[in-house]
Structure 1
C-alpha cells in the first residue's frame, strides 16, 4: 500500500495504560510509527498522562444547568454540546474524534472490559446529540463513515476465552463493547486486535505479537469491517424486534444472526472477532 492510498487520513489512538514501557505502549508506538510513515496524521490521547477525569458529572458542563435539581447527564450534556458549553477536556476529544477516519482503542482488558479511565472517555466524549441520537444509531449512526478498532491485551490465555473455556467465549465478551458502544454510534468496527496474555509468554513471543500487529496495522484502513444487522431489519413499532421476513430467512440456518441476536440458535462462531 502506498502512502497515497492513505493521503489525508487521520487516526486517533485512545490509549489507556499507566506505564510508558508496557506492552500496550509498544503496540501504540508501532501504530503511530506505521500509520505516520504511510502519510496519516496520528493523534494520541494518552488518558493517564492527561489525567483524564473518568467520572461523568455536572462539572462537564460550563455555565448554568437547565435543571440542577433533577440532573440528567445525557440531557444536560446534549444542551451543552449544542450551545458549545461542554468543558474544554471533552470539547478537545470530540474535536479529535470528529476529524478521525480511524479510531484505535489501545488498552489492557480489566475485568472483561475497558479500564475505568477509558470507560470515562466513552461516557464523557460520546455524548447524546454529538455521538448518537434516537434517529442516528447503529447502521444509521453518526460515525458511519469512520472505522474503529479495539486493540488490547488480556491476562488470560486464549483457551480460557473459548466456547468451552472458563472465561467464556470472547465473542460474547466483545459484544457489549463492539455492538453496544462502537456500532451503536455507527462506527464500522474492524476485527479486534487481541494480544493473548503477553505477560505470560517469552520475550520472543511478545516480539512476534508486535511484529504481527505491525503487519496488520499497515493495511488496517483497507480492512473490511465486522458485519452487524442493519437497523432497517428491525420493526420500530414492535420494540425493534426483527421483522418477520428476516426471521423467516434465518429459520433454516444453523446459526443466529449475531452473538447478541442469535434467535435461540447456536451462536455464530467468530462473529465479533473476524471480518
Structure 2
C-alpha cells in the first residue's frame, strides 16, 4: 500500500509524535510505502486565500471554488498545494495523526483541508460521497484526547466520540469519496503510565499491519 501520514502536532516528542513514529516503522516493516506531511515542520500555511494559486480567474473578486476550478484546468495551484494534491492522488490509505483540540482538529490541519481539498481535484461536478474523486482510498483518524475514555461515551461528560468526529468522517472524508476506517483514539495518554503507553503503541503497530483487510466504519448520518 501507499500510505500518506498527515501529522498535526507542534511537538515531535509528544505522544502523537510517538504514534507517528510507530506508524512509520510498522508500515515500512510490513513492506508499505510511506509519505509524510508534517504540517508544523513544513510551516504549512493554513489560511486559504489567493496564495493558493499561481494565476487568477477573476482578479477583481475572489471566489475560492471558481479559482480552484480554474487552477484545475490550467495547472494553477501554488507549489505547496500541488505537492499535497499529488500525495493524495498517490496514496491508497491516508492517516491523520493529531490531538483533539476543542472537539476538532488543530487549526493547521483544518487549514490543510481548506486549501488542499480543492474543487475540481477533491470534489465537484457530481463527484461527492460514493462518486467522490477519492473513492477506493481509505482514511483513518488517529488521535489523542485530554480526558479519559468514560468522558467520551454516550452520556459522558464530553459526549460520544463518534458524534464528535462525525463532521470530519462524513463532511471531509466520506464527502470526497474516502472509505472511512474506525478511528484510533488514545484517551488521556498524559495520565497513563509508561507501561500503558508502550502497550498502546504496540497495539497501534499491530493494527496497522492488517489495515488493508479492515471493514469500513459505520459513520452514520446527521
Q: What is the TM-score of this pair, normalised by structure 1?
A: 0.78
- Candidates 7, 29, 54, aligned match of 2:46: 54
Q: Say which structure, 1 or 2, has more relative contact order (CA 8 Å, 6+ apart).
A: 2
- Contact 2:57/2:66 (8 A) holds in 1: no
The aligned counterpart of 2:85 is 94
- Unaligned ranges ≥5, structure 2: none
The aligned counterpart of 2:117 is 126
Structure 1 stretches of 4+ with a deviation exceeding 4 A read: none
Q: 2 CA distance for matches of 1:163 and 1:186?
A: 28
- Contact 1:61/1:86 (8 A) holds in 2: yes
- Give the root-mean-square deviation of aligned CA atoms: 1.1
1:23-57: per-residue Cα shift (whole Å, max 9, x none)? 11111111111111121110111110000000101
- Candidates 91, 94, 97, aligned match of 1:106: 97
SS state at 2:176 partner: coil
Q: Report how far residue 81 of structure 1 moved.
A: 2.1
Q: Report how far residue 69 of structure 1 moved.
A: 2.6
Q: 2 CA distance for matches of 1:140 and 1:195?
A: 32
SS state at 1:48 partner: coil
Q: 2 CA distance for matches of 1:227 and 1:152?
A: 18
- Contact 1:171/1:259 (8 A) holds in 2: no
1:171-214: per-residue Cα shift (whole Å, max 9, x none)? 11111000110000000101000011101121111111111111
Q: What is the TM-score of this pair, normalised by structure 2?
A: 0.97
- Unaligned ranges ≥5, structure 1: 1-8, 229-257, 261-275
- Contact 2:170/2:221 (8 A) holds in 1: no
